[in-house]
């Protein structure tokens, strides 16, 4: 089972306990915090420690499927304290077959062009990548799909800062989904922007 997905599910269920009537209050659960996932291109393996300090998980964007397994072994050896996942390109089934014994914790795959056969990999956590333009009807159907979480990606991947429209879109997704929600954000995000994301759910 996926370590990262287990933590996401635990955090999504965590809520403070309140006292009722004359019963003593139960100790409050810790306030859930945002999980930071460091997303890096496959070519950035040499500088992993610099980019993953403070991260709760790591995510490698696969560009060379043939060397993906070797890259993961190197990553796991260098930063063994956090779980690692693959961000597969479209039609990434061949990549998952090549790396299924390499020890990745979770995979991110695009909804539009990933074969259903990917679901045969039962060990890794599955995160479905969807675009912000996805309609409400299709978005709601993800709640019943056999995936563990949803990643919403912007259609303008090179955004330098978060905007109010980003916040509105993320809030919309958070309101419609019952699964843990992840979102791509610029690397230079500020503490105030992170607080805004937290308040948006």
Give the number of other Cβ atoms within 10 Å of residue 183's Cβ: 18
Residue 156 has pLDDT above 70, yes or no: no
**Percent of the chain with pLDDT strictly greater than 90:** 19
- Token pair belonging to 50: 């610099």
DSSP codes joined into one string, 90-145: TTTHHHHHHHTTS--SEEEEETTT--GGGGG--SSEEEEEEETT--HHHHHHGGGS
**Confidence at residue 1, expressed as pLDDT on a 0 to 100 scale:** 74
Q: What is the pLDDT of residues 15-57, one digit of tens each?
A: 444 445 555 555 555 555 788 888 877 666 666 666 777 788 9
Whether the CB-CB separation of 72 and 59 falls below 8 Å is answered with no
* E strands present in the chain: 37-41, 57-61, 84-87, 106-110, 125-131, 149-153, 181-183
Residue 63 has pLDDT above 80, yes or no: no
DSSP codes joined into one string, 136-147: HHHHHHGGGSS-
Question: Highest mean pLDDT: which of 127-136, 147-156, 184-193?
Answer: 127-136
């Amino acid at each position: 089972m996926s370590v990262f997905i287990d933590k996401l599910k635990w955090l999504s269920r965590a809520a403070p306990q309140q006292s009722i009537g004359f019963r003593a209050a139960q100790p409050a659960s810790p306030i859930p915090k945002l999980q930071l996932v460091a997303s890096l291109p496959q070519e950035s393996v040499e500088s992993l420690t610099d980019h993953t300090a403070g991260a709760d998980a790591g995510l490698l964007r696969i560009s060379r499927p043939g060397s993906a397994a070797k890259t993961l072994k190197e990553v796991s050896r260098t930063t063994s304290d956090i779980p690692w996942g693959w961000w597969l390109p479209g039609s990434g089934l061949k990549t998952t077959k090549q790396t299924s014994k390499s020890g990745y914790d979770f995979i991110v795959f695009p909804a539009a062009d990933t074969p259903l056969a990917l679901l045969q990999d039962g060990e890794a956590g599955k995160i479905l990548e969807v675009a912000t333009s996805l309609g409400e009807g299709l978005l709601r159907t993800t709640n019943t799909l056999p995936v563990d979480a949803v990643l919403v990606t912007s259609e303008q991947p090179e955004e330098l800062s978060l905007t109010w429209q980003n916040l509105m879109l993320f809030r919309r997704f958070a309101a419609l989904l019952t699964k843990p929600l992840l979102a791509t954000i610029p690397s230079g995000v500020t503490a105030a922007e992170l607080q805004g994301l937290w308040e948006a759910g």
